[in-house]
Structure 1
Amino acid sequence: MNSIPNYLIYEILSRLSAKSVARCPCVSKEWRSILARQDFTELFLTRSKARPRLLIGVRQQDGDQCSFYTTPQPQDPYEKPSLVVTADFHIKLSKGISQYNCSYASGLIYYSIRSKDEDEKRVICNPLTGQYVILPELRVGHSYSYTMFSYLMFDPIDKEFKVLFMNLNRYTAYNYVDHYILTLGSGKLRWRKIQCPFTHELFEGRICINGVLYYSAEHSDSDGRRSCVLVCFDVRSEKFKFIGARNCHYQLINYKGKLCEINVEYAYDGRFPPKLSMWVLEDVEKPEWSKYVYSLDVESKVASYLYVSGMTATGDIVLLMDNTSNPFYVFYFNPERKTLQIVEILGIGSNRVCTFVDYVEDLSVNVALQNKSSPLQERRNIVTEKLKTQQRRHTSHDLCKFAPSVKNKQHNKYESLANMLYRSAGLAILFFVLFGFFFVFFSYIIRL
């Protein structure tokens, strides 16, 4: 194995899934050293970006549990106009998830959990691997009339995740109230106080693009006149400012690195086809906007009322229905080519959904979560279900289901069985990787 060039090892390991890579350091110190290198992390991310996926969160109709699935995104613009794919299930989050404090940034999900017997917990989770971190408790001493909005953000320069906690009174952020921010980085996790220099009322639209968090709001000037604005929060400098917006109620998406306000418009009688209205922010400083309107050639029997999920790196605008149905469709519309691909997704049932485009596996995300997990309370489940092939002993970084307490003898018996299964899985991975090594190595020798 020592005769195999390092670049071949890199090539093989970079083609594995993030879950398999997470187990490979157990094989040897040499592998552990290779997988810890920054150039391998960057190579793995490059490979992963070549196969982006659609991340789907499904909220159950009869409760507040949320399951996560992924499906491949169409990459060939000349593929069939209609495709059928099966969703891959990953994890199911526990009950009590707030539908308001839930956001996504660069591969991580941020949400809060509230139950009758426990205080609210704020969690950042990798929806594919199950790694998580519970944020420190934050108590804000005020009455029930207040509401709180939180946002997960990512700074691409310092490569840091941050959480902004907005302390609101009836959806209004006042300039004299303390808000809070937390950095998911080295050192102890702690909330820091921060203030916004202007008062504004928040709306639902929000997105983080290139290290800037944008969200829709209304602002009153010195004469009391209210106007629609976009609040811009620089994640790195942690400074607020605002610019004029076109509409407070439009959705916000990343349009080729630019902010875009977008809306699906129907005729008053609900006739098809609907129109897609877009306002693209060309210049943030001026600000300067460009407007585009497109007609969506979809049939009413296929698509009821649609909303926009986002835009892929290949330029496809992703649209879907508010609720899953059987069958459930996702629409990929490319405004430059005027093409529309309809993808039927199987295996996610009939519930409310939210989706995130261009999901890629990034090993640096797992590093950000390592050594940051807080111990959970006994029998407190954050993830209630995972794929059976992923089940193993619980660690402080893995969201596995807690087992009920048993007698010591039974516990030792089950622990031994778990160890045997874990070693068997490790041997299977080792066999698979060694087979790949020798296959590539002999191919390399033959070419010489």
Structure 2
Amino acid sequence: MSPVNPSMDNLPSNVMFDILSRVPVKTIIHCKCVCKRWQNIILDSYFADIHLSRSPAGLMIHHNPEKVRGGYEPGILKWVEIEDESDYHYLHHDLFMSLNLNLATIFQDSQILIVGSVNGLICLWQFGPRGHDNTYICNPITREYMILPRQQYYREGYAIIVYGFGVGLKTNEYKVIRTFQGNILPDPTSVSRPRLLEAEVYTLGTGQWRSLGHVPYWNDGFLGPFSNGHTHWCVLDPDSPEKICAFDFDNETFKLFPSPPVETIAESQIHFRSLGVLKGCLSQSDTFDSQFTIWVMKEYGIKSSWHREVVIKQSISPELDWVMWEPMYLLEGLKDGTILMIYKENTLLSYCNCSKTVEDRSIFEPQFTRLAYHPSFLKLLDFKSEKVHVF
């Protein structure tokens, strides 16, 4: 390891913790190689907590999971850092910060889907034609990953598997929730309410899945955003008094959650709903063929705090003609009011509220999955009973 400037080496540990937690993520990684003291500081769980509180906004992009030679490639995880200031923002990708899953033997000839992220940890679901059905937790920054035990399986028939990943506010336990939604031995294309609605949960560090039994709500099956100790999904039950359900990671219970006013446009032929988190607030987007509405919950759990934040009319730009026929998913809200969104699950768009314009911000082609991501140095080794591997 390289010698350290004596003036810095003599600084108190609390000062070093503070200084190192403020430098860019890539620099922190290099700092581990400077000296033993700096390495110990960066590997300390206290440092991980401090850094997480200051973790910069970013995106995690799952890139290029295409079918190859009759098989599949798991793809590459690419962290895009958002340099976000009040008067400008910039999206930056450093090749050094990519994690090539194609090189991992365990992922060969399978597909990978990002199903959740919290505090810098990412939950991955592996599936494929050879019976793959595995769940992984990884930290792309520390390059650690763990394989969760094989899940319990629904007994028979077809089912859609829906994931959620989060951490309890009271227990601080990280958990993976997955639900099975399906009709037992029917036509899998049926749009009627599934006869099978069951769930199981895994608490990191316990080594086993636990059944939660019947799930009372039929959700939309998309990626559920995590906020305030809950994962949230849109409810599909037409008679439900609320159109959002939430899973509480502390109590391990499902409940209906206050949703924004139901918006209808008589002449619209489509209506898609999706959930996200903007500047720490739960948000909902409503896509019609003539406009796109963004709702933001200013006070978590308070129905009256839902606020119509943005209404994007198709008429503001001729380019929106192709946008309003697929659901859009909210990613991140920036300091200058810009909102980052995903269209058709593979195109990154930004809406500038000041100029009332929408721009294509895609920096990789093709793309598969994106989600808001805040990097961290949380160590999977802190979950004592889990076997941790390194990419």
TM-score range, shorter chain: 0.7 to 0.9
Opposite residue 180 of structure 1, the aligned amino acid is: E
Note if 1:191 corresponds to 2:183.
Answer: no
Deviations 1:341-388 (A, max 9, x none): 857554x2x21332222x222222545567623xxxxxxxxxxxxxxx
SS in structure 1 opposite 2:17? helix
Q: Is the 8 A contact 1:86 1:345 kept in 2?
A: no
Q: 1:219 maps to what in 2?
A: 237
Report 1:348-363 matches (<5 A).
Answer: 348=364, 350-357=365-372, 359-363=373-377
Pick aligned residue for 2:272 from 217, 242, 249: 249
1:182 — aligned with what?
202
Q: Deviations over 1:322-351 (max 9, x none)?
A: 376xxx7641534xx5666857554x2x21
Distance 2:27 2:389 in 1: 13
- 2:171 maps to 158
1:65 and 2:57 aligned? no
Alignment partner, residue 60 of structure 2: 55
Match status 1:76 vs 2:85: yes
Q: Distance in 2 between matches of 1:196 and 1:74?
A: 44
Corresponding position: 1:3 with 2:3:
no
CA distance in structure 2 between the partners assigned to 1:115 and 1:285 by the alignment: 38
| TM-score, normalising length: structure 2 | 0.72
Match of 2:143, SS?
coil
| Aligned mates of 1:212, 1:108 — CA distance in 2 | 16
1:232 matches 2:252:
no
Structure 2: distance between partners of 1:282 and 1:8: 35
Relative distance call for 1:4 and 1:216 in structure 2 (3 A) is closer
In structure 1, distance between residues paired with 2:162 and 2:92: 35
Please give the alpha-carbon distance, in whole angstroms, between the structure 1 residues aligned to 2:299 and 2:51: 34
Max radius of gyration: which structure?
1
In structure 2, runs of 5+ residues without a counterpart are 1-5, 102-106, 184-190, 264-270
RMSD over equivalenced CA pairs, Å: 3.9
Q: 2:224: which partner in 1?
A: 206
- Corresponding position of 1:316: 338
Partner Cα distance (1:19, 1:91) in 2: 17
Deviation at 1:159, TM superposition (A): 2.9
CA apart distance, 1:106: 2.9
Q: Distance in 2 between matches of 1:46 and 1:286?
A: 25
Q: Which structure 1 residue ranges, 5 or more long, are not aligned?
A: 268-274, 374-395, 400-448
* CA–CA distance in structure 1, aligned partners of residues 127 and 87 of structure 2: 46
Given that residues 219 and 227 in structure 1 are in contact (C-alpha distance below 8 angstroms), is that contact kept between their aligned partners in structure 2?
Answer: no
With normalisation by structure 1, the TM-score equals 0.64
**Identity %, equivalent residues:** 15
Q: Aligned pair in 2 of structure 1 residues 300, 108: CA closer, same or farther (>3 Å)?
A: farther
Report the number of matched residues: 349
Structure 1 residues 75 and 145: alpha-carbon distance in aligned structure 2, compared to 1, 3 A threshold:
closer
Tell me, in whole angstroms, the C-alpha distance in 2 between the residues paired with 1:295 and 1:117. 44
Q: Give the superposition deviation at 1:190.
A: 0.9
Amino acid at match of 2:235: A
Structure 1 CA distance for aligned equivalents of residues 284 and 379 of structure 2? 29
Write the letter of the residue equivalent to 1:310.
Answer: L
* Partner SS, residue 159 of structure 1: coil
Partner of 2:307: 290
Secondary structure of the residue aligned to 2:48 is helix
Corresponding residue to 1:364 among 378, 382, 390: 378
Q: Describe the superposition over 1:40-61 as per-residue Cα deviations: whole angstroms up to 9, x where unpaired.
A: 33332344x2x32222222434
- Structure 1 residues 13-28: aligned runs within 5 Å: 13-14=20-21, 15=23, 17=25, 21=29, 24=32, 27-28=35-36
Counterparts of 2:120 and 2:64 in 1: how far apart (Å)?
A: 19
Aligned to 2:98: 90
Change (3 A) 1:34 1:120: same
Structure 2 residue matching 1:200: 3-state secondary structure: coil
Q: Which amino acid aligns with 1:312?
A: G
Alignment-mate amino acid for residue 352 of structure 1: Q
Find the aligned partners of 2:31 and 2:42 in 1 and give their Cα distance.
Answer: 10
What is the CA distance between 1:178 and its match in structure 2?
4.9
Which is further off, 120-129 or 191-200?
A: 191-200
User: 3-state SS of the aligned residue for 1:363?
Assistant: coil
User: Aligned residue for 1:415?
Assistant: none
1:108 pairs with one of 112, 121, 139:
121
In 2, the alpha carbon distance for the partners of 1:362 and 1:189 equals 23
2:323 aligns with 305
Letter in 2 for 1:216: C
